[in-house]
Structure 1
Amino acid sequence: MSERVIDPARSRIVLVGPAYYEDPQLENVPVIANNISDLAQVLTNEKLGGFNPFHCIAVPSAAGVAQVGDVLVRAAEEAEDLLLFYYSGHGLLGPRRRELYLSLAATRHDQLAFTAVPFEAVRDACLQSRATSRVVILDSCYSGRAIGDTLAGNDEVDEAVLGEIEVSGAYTLTSSPANRAALVLPGERHTAFTERLLAMLSAGSPAAGTMISLGDIYRHLHTRLRAEGLPLPQRCGVNNADLLGLVRNVQSGHASGDAPAAADTAESERVASTDMSQRLTHAERIANTIGDGLWRTRALAQVALAADAFDPERVGRLIDQVEQAASTIANEEYRWQALSAVAASVAAANPDRAEHMANTITNTYTRWQALSAVAAAVAAADLDRAEHMANTISNKDYRWQALSAVIAAVAAANPDWAEHMANTISNKDYRWQAL
């Protein structure tokens, strides 16, 4: 049987991945930000996934439970062909029933039920969707090892957790067995599982057809991870789901056959660019029709993120509109959260605006959180600025958290500075975490 081709126009994708955590007992994983941005880029690449950038939603790293729920439920309601949910982060188990929770930036390991996303809620959203295909990809550990817990009994735990995350009528792919921790290998841009997933999606496979299916992905990753001695991926779902083609295979005979003429390729790219500009204009117009300030802020921020790779000049104007929309949000807490999320999102592309936006937040704690995220985002390009930004945080506990985020962001490229900086942290818990 051949792979089933997805209709991108009738599909919705939700990507969730907090790279930094407020709870010091949850380790920051800066590369998760790369997981989210690079997977979105592959899925929306016209030559690979071809999904609409406005239907591939990367939830802000600082989002809370309600924000994640809003985005997922809306995507589940809109999806008709494919609903894809991807999560990367700390998977934690409840203290009594050992139910699975997906941690977020504000998750507290001692209050999972109130600060983390219960996987049961993700499963319910998938079950209620009318989408023909529902796919869940989890790149996380389930043992709670990030806070020192381990699980006894391998097979029993694996079956229990895999049974819990199975979604009827859906295909679930996980990065590791329930009693193994997800890994980040030194020098790699992503977590180990997503690094190899993205490599396959981008480079293609000679063993696959014109599309790379879910079955192709699982078989490739299982073979690759086993050969490298890494935790093996797990899957559950009906066999026919294996045939669902996620992205085009650049190594297929059809894709690598007669190459189009250079003029045809250039014309195709020009038309695609023009089409994207028109779509951005249309999306901006729709966003500005939203009366509620919070939802208008979210919508305009998504347009700005989509525009960053296509129309940088438009981004500045969109950020102006985002700030104006945020100023109309009556609930102060929502307004601060919105500004913090937008600041972190635009930091790499426009650090001046991001820092200014963070400093307009009047709530001290949220401002420090935003500055920490902005500092980590700009660290690779301007380490001095990132360090200075972190040091503007007056509370030493939050300053140490911000410095730890900067250290983690540049450690691979500048290990001497990272080690020296970690050793300047006087609080031993934060110092050990940074080291």
Structure 2
Amino acid sequence: MSWDFSTDPETEAELAWIRDFIDTKAIPLEALELPVREFDRAAAPLIDEVKARGLWAAHLGPEHGGTGRGQLRLALMNEIVGRSRVGPTLFGTAPPDSGNLELLAPHATPAQRTRYFLPLLEGSVRSSVAMTEPGAGADPTLLSTRLERHGNGWVLNGHKWFATNASLADFLLVLAVSDPDAHPKHRATVVIVDRDALGVDVRRDIPSMEDPEPRPAQIENHCEITFTDVALPADAVLGEPGRGFAMMQERLGPARVHHCMRWIGQAQRALDMLCERATYRYSHGSTLADKQTVQNWIADSAAEIAAARLLTLHAAWRIDTVGSKAAREDIALIKFYGAKVLHDVIDRAVQAHGSLGFSADLPLEAMYRRARAARIYDGPDEVHRQSAARLILRGFTPPADGIPAEHLPTRRQAAREQFAHLLSDRKVADDVIRSL
């Protein structure tokens, strides 16, 4: 067995270019907080640079029209891209479009590929995914949105919310119950719905902790939607009917790795601000860098980020080598651990900056608000902890005789029988064993 933490020269050159691009172009663009049309205009030439470099849609393999790097290389890339809120958009890896592309790529029919997948891959349209409902979040058995057969097509009725980008999306992937009598994991189907279809009502951009006063049709807004007798053709179904839950899990596996690496980039940016603050803020006779509490914050943050990075890279490597399904435990671990690290590092940076950190003069307050959502979307932390624990426990069984494997009196007796013959004097052997 061998381990190698180095990257090849080609990858390192790519990462260096991405790092410079994010620091000199993405972060300055982020600071402008432009409305979506102005943002698209300003972002267009930057996206052209990324495409010319061969780094657009790197999460998709070449067979699907992407530039495919594999999850491990993509993770290294996403850590840097994630330093900026707008970075993923400039690299064609922004959610929910990135996850939708990964779902469309293997399941879209030729017609769906032409109408939806290719324009989304090109970046000429936007998409949304509608899973969560006011009464159903992490538990798919509680979904109430219904998809019913009607003639040669389907009719969709239901109520969704927190559908990211729905107010500016061209189409939505909607998870709806098509067979309520089936097994809970076989009840739902994914359908592609044009946002301007009759009966689709994007009712509002939802105010949230992340954005208390959302501007209409702004990137990363979360929306409430109702579907009322929406008529859909037979070919609106993506993949096979009844496989919606499995398909969404398929979509979310790699997406969680992408999220976690972006969180590490955000956490590292917050730590950079914390360290800079420590060098110049003077208080009570010395700079913050001389205060033991601040030193502890810096050391703890650096250690936690390093641990989250290694966990996430290992999960990415597992996906590359054994697939998402076999890497479920790794993915569950990084989801809840990465979200906690993101929150804690940003929180320390806010505290070190005092009123400046609390103000909107630094990006920390916005980073902090968004970090709270990381413990909820893509499944709440509690679900991922439970999933990880169940997978870990599968490797254990209760002792057949009811005696713990590490029960010392039992071990001593076994050791007496195992090692007594190596001691020449039986009395010495008994004395040695009794003294254990």
* TM-score above 0.5, yes or no: no
Which interval holds the TM-score relative to the shorter structure?
Answer: under 0.3
**TM-score normalised by length of structure 1:** 0.25
**TM-score normalised by length of structure 2:** 0.25
